[in-house]
Structure 1
Amino acid sequence: MTNNFGFTSTTDEVLARVDLKGKRVLVTGVSSGLGVETARALVAHGAEVVGAARNLAKAKQATTVVRAAAASGEGGFDLVELDLADLANVRACAQRLSDDGRPFDIVIANAGVMATPFGHTADGFEMQFGTNFLGHFVFVNRIAPLLREGGRLVMLSSGAHHIADVDLNDPNFEHTPYDRWVAYGRSKTADALLAVEFDRRHRTAGVRAVAVHPGGIKTELQRHYPQEEEEALVASMNAARAAAGQPPFYYKTIPQGAATSVWAAAAAAADQAGGRYCEDCHVAEIDDSDGMHDGVRSYATDPAHAKALWAKGEELVGEQF
């Protein structure tokens, strides 16, 4: 399947010919940035969206535009509390949705933290791995029975997966000096691998999973590190991109950043995107050259590696899925 979408495509452009009436979608992380825009675009095109957020008061204020889109069209919007850094809260949210019983057509695991100082979740896991991967790992598995046949899971990964593979022997930096960017890279590699294994496990039931890199966008994610650190990161990215024969890095707008999520969720063909890593509204090519650049590392798409991470995740959270 080919399309005319790319780096500059926006959510509304991607969904222009997509009718989501009657579709029910869950989006995590709707208190700012990409989550809000993802929810708005889906609602504007007719979907019933359930937005999940840790801080409901903040999310309610941030999603005024989403409710306005619902009021002016045929979509709908509701909020649920979900704190991915607290597995008791994750399980409680999943149970409430299961008890409600209404199915979902799409789940977009958008929430996350980036480059945080060293810290731990409520369950003692390193904050970024625990929030970005383990919180979503428990949540999406517990609500997986709610996904209809033909449904789709979209995991937000990142180009930062190029920084580091997962470390199955030391996921919590107990024996390794903490580096916030290595920790973020590990967590985003983990999210990509979650999509690979989830897709393998559910494709025979007609449910597919895909990982996406939204691109670089100025959002609240950048709040944990100084501007000069970001400038240094961009400089290193541009050096790597030049070495790979790619153009310089540019920031996307929020509607451009959320475009790949909605493309993978509602526009891409299941057999095209299922089990794959996507960027700029297309499936990325494997590229193991040095540095952060376009493309996906082979370790982030390796099926055996994904199985091993899944088993490690089950061991850490004390559940088998």
Structure 2
Amino acid sequence: MSTSFGAKSTTDDVLAGVDLKGKRVLVTGVSAGLGVETARALAAHGADVVGAARDLKKAEGATAVVREAAAKSGGSLQLIELDLADLASVRAAADALVADGRAFDLVIANAGVMAPPFGKTVDGFETQFGTNHLGHFVFVNRIASLLKAGARVVSLASAGHRFSDVNLEDPNFETTDYVPFEAYGRSKTANILFAVEFDRRHKERGVRAVAVHPGGIQTELARHLDPAFIQGWIEQLNAQAAAEGQPPIEWKTIPQGAATSVWAGVVAPADAVGGLYCEDCHVAELAEDASQIRAGVRSYALDPAHAQALWALSEKLVGETF
């Protein structure tokens, strides 16, 4: 595998020389940030992109750069409505794609929310678990028949998975106190475990799944957070880094943040990333020490039995078997 890409690589670096004409890809969350850049980069290399968003009007404006890139490359952009916090919307979007019948080479489950006040989805699930995990769980599974042999699913997770493992006994904080970043950690761990189990179920037919951490990026994802809290958190992390002789944290640009998604989805060898967790355009190493907060993946997020248990719980919660 190429080792020429890293934390500072951009989407254009990663896709240099790659021709995606004839490839059909789906990206969720194309109304801002990483989703728009991911769609732009793929469209700029000739891909036919289907962009999913909750707010189509917002997405129309945000994806003007995607349409411009597609026009120059011979690619295309189609927008569809998808509200991951409403399973009726999820099922309607997936069913429409299946009825259309056109296959996909790549699905990037990019959309998500981070650390909002306690709330519930339309279906009564805790907002982050319901949106980040269960919405994508139903959506991707419902369109799995459209994934060609050789296709990949990229599940956007986060270093935030290290905040918390999933809680299979109380996924919706009914008996435990709600802590926004603990809930975020649970949902991001779930995103990794989903990739682990989806990969296990589909790799025999040539479809692989991988989870990725985009890196620390200033996007709309942080809209629920007090800027003072973010600044204090960064200062705390940098103090720890200095004590360990490490450089301070640097925010990634959005093109740098989206690079790992397109690297894992298009460039990296499938067998090298399938069922794993990637960051900075490489496969992450295990990081079990709680003080390791800059890089790496916790073993609980890659545990096959854990992934199967979460899958079974998820099917029970959404009332659907895949």
CA shift, 1:228, in A, is 1.4
Could you report, residue by residue, the CA deviation over 1:116-148 in whole angstroms, capped at 9, with x for unpaired residues? 110000000000000000000000000011000
Match in the other structure for 1:209: 209
Cα distance in 2 between the residues matched to 1:40 and 1:103: 20
Match in the other structure for 2:282: 282
Secondary structure of the structure 2 residue equivalent to 1:77: strand
Cα distance in 1 between the residues matched to 2:43 and 2:120: 35
Q: Which amino acid in the other structure matches residue 7 of structure 2?
A: F
Q: Tell me whether 1:45 sits opposite 2:34 in the alignment.
A: no
Secondary structure of the structure 1 residue equivalent to 2:151: strand
Contact 1:260/1:281 (8 A) holds in 2: yes
Question: Residues 147 and 244 of structure 1: is their aligned pair in 2 closer, same or farther, counting only changes over 3 Å?
Answer: farther
Contact 1:154/1:195 (8 A) holds in 2: yes
Unaligned runs of 5+ in 2: none
CA shift, 1:250, in A, is 1.1
Cα distance in 1 between the residues matched to 2:314 and 2:240: 32
- For normalisation by structure 1, the TM-score amounts to 0.98
Note the aligned Cα RMSD (angstroms). 1.2
Match in the other structure for 2:307: 306
CA shift, 1:235, in A, is 3.2
Cα distance in 2 between the residues matched to 1:278 and 1:307: 20
Cα distance in 1 between the residues matched to 2:229 and 2:160: 14
Cα distance in 1 between the residues matched to 2:132 and 2:226: 21
Secondary structure of the structure 1 residue equivalent to 2:223: helix
Q: Tell me whether 1:268 sits opposite 2:268 in the alignment.
A: yes
Cα distance in 1 between the residues matched to 2:169 and 2:122: 21
Cα distance in 2 between the residues matched to 1:44 and 1:16: 11
Match in the other structure for 1:295: 296
CA shift, 1:244, in A, is 6.7
CA shift, 1:245, in A, is 6.3
After the TM superposition, which residues 111-260 of structure 1 pair with which residues of structure 2 at under 5 Å, given as runs? 111-239=111-239, 241=241, 246-260=246-260
CA shift, 1:238, in A, is 3.3
Contact 1:244/1:289 (8 A) holds in 2: no
CA shift, 1:231, in A, is 1.8
CA shift, 1:239, in A, is 5.0
CA shift, 1:71, in A, is 1.2
Unaligned runs of 5+ in 1: none
Q: Which amino acid in the other structure matches residue 229 of structure 1?
A: F
CA shift, 1:315, in A, is 0.8
After the TM superposition, which residues 28-107 of structure 1 pair with which residues of structure 2 at under 5 Å, given as runs? 28-107=28-107
Q: Which amino acid in the other structure matches residue 189 of structure 1?
A: T
Percent of aligned positions with the same letter in both sequences? 67
Secondary structure of the structure 2 residue equivalent to 1:21: coil
- For normalisation by structure 2, the TM-score amounts to 0.97
Match in the other structure for 1:318: 319
Match in the other structure for 1:27: 27
Could you report, residue by residue, the CA deviation over 1:217-249 in whole angstroms, capped at 9, with x for unpaired residues? 110011101011112322343355567765322
